[in-house]
Structure 1
Amino acid sequence: MKKLVPAVLLAAAAAPAFAHPGHDTTTLTAGLVHPLGLDHLLAMVAVGLWSAAAFSGVRRLAGPALFMTALLAGAVAGAAGWGHALVEPAIAASVVVLGVMLAFARRLPAAAGLVLVAVAGSLHGLAHGAELPAAGGFAAYAAGFLAATALLHGAGLAAAPRLLALPAVVWRALSGGVALAGLMLLARA
């Protein structure tokens, strides 16, 4: 855990240069790096944290699996031209929603949480797909962003037991920090 937090913070600090328009979207490496932008990083780790807080056992994988399925579907739709100007503010808003979901993870009905996770995944996917050039390498790029997404979800799942063991006020402060970061991203979108 002590090594995970600095690594995530370092990646978040370095990643805005790669976030969204104007970066390579044709390679596996580009796909691996893209989710390290602050908006994607917060959302994907939050999904892992929420899923671990909301479910037990193998069911904890429901949130990440649904997010990745919706992410890929959204990317296909975005590559087909379904992306629009409101996708960036919607992604920022999804970070706010995921932060709030973390704060109320054990009180939010699982079905409602999974719907919100799917919507967030599809929005993040639209952004990924809309960035592809007409002659883009969708398969390699998609493999990269799906692998990075799985790793970020895994980081959230792995960190959750220790974070959930902290006093509730600390969990709420972390959740509020995610929501606040989403509001800051929304203000910039």
Structure 2
Amino acid sequence: MKSASKSGLFALVATAFPAAAYAHPAAGEAAGFVHGFTHPISGIDHVLAMIMVGVFAYQLGGRATWLVPTTFLLVMAVGGAVGVVGIDIPFVEAGIALSVALLGAIVAFNVKAPAAIAMAVVGLFATFHGHAHGTEMPEHAAGAAYGGGFLIATALLHAVGLGLGCGIGRIGERRGFIVTRLAGGFAAAAGLGILAGMI
């Protein structure tokens, strides 16, 4: 079930952005895709938040396994478009740091929530992450290729989180509980450090 959900997530991304990823690799598009793909993986705040979304989705199980990451991707795309056109959203950097801290805490304490609430929470955080990606798009980059790049990179980080959650689940309830607490706690502490300007 969970592997099927991951496959469905990748299929969604692949079908939503085929032109951005593969068609007409002109200079601006190629540069745009590379910049977009590397942007989410170049900052610890984005990496930790994306992985925690995947772990959170795995912990919830059921439809949330694919609904939560997919919601993040879709809302992040909207946030990215808002950033590209220059519409300001307040407290973006603080929102990103808080997303790392709160998602880490959610994972650490294995918070169970209805899928709709989980989707709303990650959707709020996705707005900040998407806006940051959009506003930091290089001027020479092709927008569609850049957007496809950061969405695919984000989906891969979600998949890492899903895989991490699956791996934790396989090591047993007691040890898995400890590892989950440590992983979520590390992310939460890092988020607070980023918020305080220490990281």
TM-score tier (shorter):
0.7 to 0.9
How many residues are matched? 164
1:3 maps to what in 2?
Answer: none
Query: Structure 2: which amino acid aligns with 1:70?
Result: V
1:117 maps to what in 2?
Answer: 122
1:103: Cα distance to partner? 2.2
Stretch deviating more after TM superposition (33-42 or 74-83): 74-83
8 Å CA contact retained: 2:57, 2:66: yes
Establish whether residue 174 from structure 1 lines up as the match of residue 183 from structure 2.
yes
Q: Output one character per residue of 1:85-132: Cα deviation in whole Å (capped at 9) or x when no partner.
A: 621111111111111121233433332222111011111001011123
Q: What's the TM-score, normalizing by structure 2?
A: 0.75
8 Å CA contact retained: 2:64, 2:115: no
Establish whether residue 35 from structure 1 lines up as the match of residue 40 from structure 2.
yes
1:141 maps to what in 2?
Answer: 146
Aligned to 1:162, which of 138, 143, 167?
167
Tell me how far apart the structure 1 counterparts of residues 76 and 145 of structure 2 sit (CA, whole Å). Answer: 15
1:167: Cα distance to partner? 3.6
**Structure 2: which 5+ runs fail to align?**
1-30
1:96/1:79 CA distance change after superposition, 3 Å: same
Aligned to 2:51, which of 5, 27, 45?
45
Tell me how far apart the structure 2 counterparts of residues 59 and 115 of structure 1 sit (CA, whole Å). Answer: 12
Percentage of pairs with the same residue: 37
Larger Rg: 2
The alignment partner of 2:54 has SS state of helix
Stretch deviating more after TM superposition (127-136 or 92-101): 127-136
Q: What's the TM-score, normalizing by structure 1?
A: 0.79
The alignment partner of 1:81 has SS state of coil
The alignment partner of 2:85 has SS state of helix
